[in-house]
A = this chain, B = another copy of it.
Amino acid sequence: MNTRPTGARERLLASAKTLFAEQGYERTTVRAVAQAAAADPALVIRYFGSKDGLFARAVEVDLRFPDLATLPREERGSRLARHVIALWDGPDGATLLPMLRACATHETAAETARGIFAGQVLAMVKGLGLSDPERRAALVASQVLGLVFCRYILGLPPVVAMDADAVAAGLGPTLQRYLHGAIT
């Protein structure tokens, strides 16, 4: 008979991802998340323990790198570039954005990002069996995150205007050299 008030937990998580992505950690209030989810602020604490707990749940993420080792060596750079924008332009981008935003001001988020770098980016590079994997992974991360930062956070018009082909043409050779070229 009632307006079956259920599923608030999932709605809270969805609202949290959206708001954290749009406003970052500090400006996103527990009350705003609750209101967007048509739920009570107290439920956030009930289900996630604290605002930090909510955030931690909202930014669990998987970069889903393709297995570059199975590709022809010379295609890996542009393949990686295309994967990056496909990932960020797709639905996963909504959960990647809040983390990147939060990294700028929230040390625990930055630590999470360092963990992702060590666990996924570095692991991918090491999987290719290259020399200097740390250095190469660092360069790859710097170019990839720079593109993402300029495109999705800063919103630099010429970066936003680039389509997948343009990104592959621009970043492909760079990533190719970071993976397989001379870097010292």
Contacts and interface: CB of A to CB of B under 8 A. Distances in A.
Contacts of A162: 135, 138
Instruction: State the main secondary structure of chain A at its contact with B.
Output: helix
Contact of A135 (B25, B142, B145, B158): B158
Q: Which range holds the interface residue count of chain A? A: 35 or more
Interface stretch (A1-9, A40-48, A88-96, A109-117): A109-117
Given A147-B146, A149-B146, A170 B139 contact: yes
Interface of A: 23-27, 100-105, 110, 113-114, 117, 134-135, 137-139, 141-147, 149-151, 153-159, 162, 166, 169-171, 173-174, 177-178, 183-184
A165 B157 CA distance: 32
A170 B183 contact: yes
A144 B145 CA distance: 10
14 contacts: A24-B105, A26-B27, A101-B105, A114-B154, A114-B157, A134-B158, A138-B156, A141-B146, A141-B150, A141-B156, A141-B159, A145-B150, A146-B149, A170-B183
